[in-house]
Structure 1
Amino acid sequence: MNQRRLVALLVVFLIVVSPIGYVLYSYHGFNALLNPGTPRASAGYVVVYTPSGQFYTLSSEESRKLLDSGGLPSGSKLFNVTVESYLTGSPGVDLNLTLRSLYEHFTVVMGDPSVTNCESSPVLYAGNCRYRVATVSEVAAMVSSIFTTNYYLRGLQMGYDNATAKQYAFNQTWLRYRKAYLTFWTKLEIGSGRIGNKDHLAIILIGPAENAVENRIFTPRRGVLVIEGKTDEALRAEVVLIENLIGFSWPGNSTKG
């Protein structure tokens, strides 16, 4: 084989084969994130949604005792949720580490592109638009609040006064926040680690439109949080559970449906 032919083959490999390999590797990486295998530890919880619009989070044992005593308000909805740990062996520590770390950017992956139907043609969406929109709004607001606090502290460390640090934090949070849908390219970005890493937090919503099979919350790698719910109403309840597990609180009460 002469040198020119060898060079030509190398060029073809770099132009054609390498990108295909990268795409396959990244797509496989995304699927592996959603199916990470056996967790190091897991914990069961029950989220109660009462007819009055209040959420309560209980351990599985607390829920059983409450059911046995007849203490639940009539008409309450129960959501059984499993929180899995793949990082530290503690589900609560995984969530705090993932959500409260300082990142450069964060992306909320709102779900399948069909979620856009909620804006114009809700009947075409394979789920409940009301609860999917509420879930996206709640999780985005929660993470934005944490981001703002982190960048406020950074502003103070940079020597800003209180008012300037607050404005800096607000501006930085706005600039570093991105929304995305679970398109092929978004899956490649996540699978390759371009987003969902120590510098770029990714929150992925998996519901009925994305063929969710159970109610669970897990962090398969640093910088990635997956919230999976068999219904969009379950997704909404799981965000409330996350807020409780990391000790997050709102001014007033935003956990009403």
Structure 2
Amino acid sequence: MPAQLKNQYVANSLRGDIRSGRYAPGAKLPTESELADHFKVSAVTIRSALAQLRSEGLIESMQGRGTFVQSRKLRSRYSRARYGRARSDRQLLSSDLEHRIVEAGRQVVPDHIAVAMEISPDTEVIARHRLLSDPVTGQIEEIGASYLPLGIAAGTYLEDPVVVPKALFLCVEELAGKTYTSARDVWRAGPPTVEQAVALGLPSGAAVVHLIHVARAQDGTILEVSESAWSATHVQIIDEYDIPEEAELPPQHSDI
């Protein structure tokens, strides 16, 4: 049997065992040598099959401990529903997670955020850096920051490194006297920074999904730019929308 077919056979078999419950969430898989003996294949084949399952988010490897069935919850983001829900219940966005502000105050805007905010790279802004974690396990699920113009947030409680009592955008609206009316999300997947890998507890070779979110008022003013990063195997983005019945020319061309 060709090596690629062997890899796929092992991956399919282990995937089936995981989905059937033979290996429950959090269960430790046999060692690579034990799996190699069981399937009568080489250690290279086993490592390739495990890498595939790891990329699918089904398993995770812990240095010195072994390989385990993934037990972390797959989190869904419905971007279009988040603001309306927060306006209704006056709670934080991602209200099921525990929020911690690790740093807040004036900082020179990072270059990639300056581009999103349409300002000079040497401009000062108010930045609020956050970690969001599972309240039960304590596992950090999201690392990110919000960047606010000085004209809105300077000299206000948003410079304090404390969690606000409601969604940040509601606080910004009150301070700015303007309402969030449109947003643009740019998603990218790729390797994590060292900070992201450490905070999210990512194994070598893991990827993150990175979001830059730009929110504007009715007059086009940018009220907030935020960025977030999640483990690529632990988050899914769900976008539901109406499909036009008539021909129309969209403002942007879709490449995919």
For Structure 1 versus Structure 2, the TM-score category normalised by the shorter chain is under 0.3
Higher relative contact order (CA 8 A, sep 6+): 1
Q: Which has the higher helix share?
A: 1
Taking structure 2 as the reference length, the TM-score comes to 0.26
Taking structure 1 as the reference length, the TM-score comes to 0.25
Q: Which has the higher strand share?
A: 2
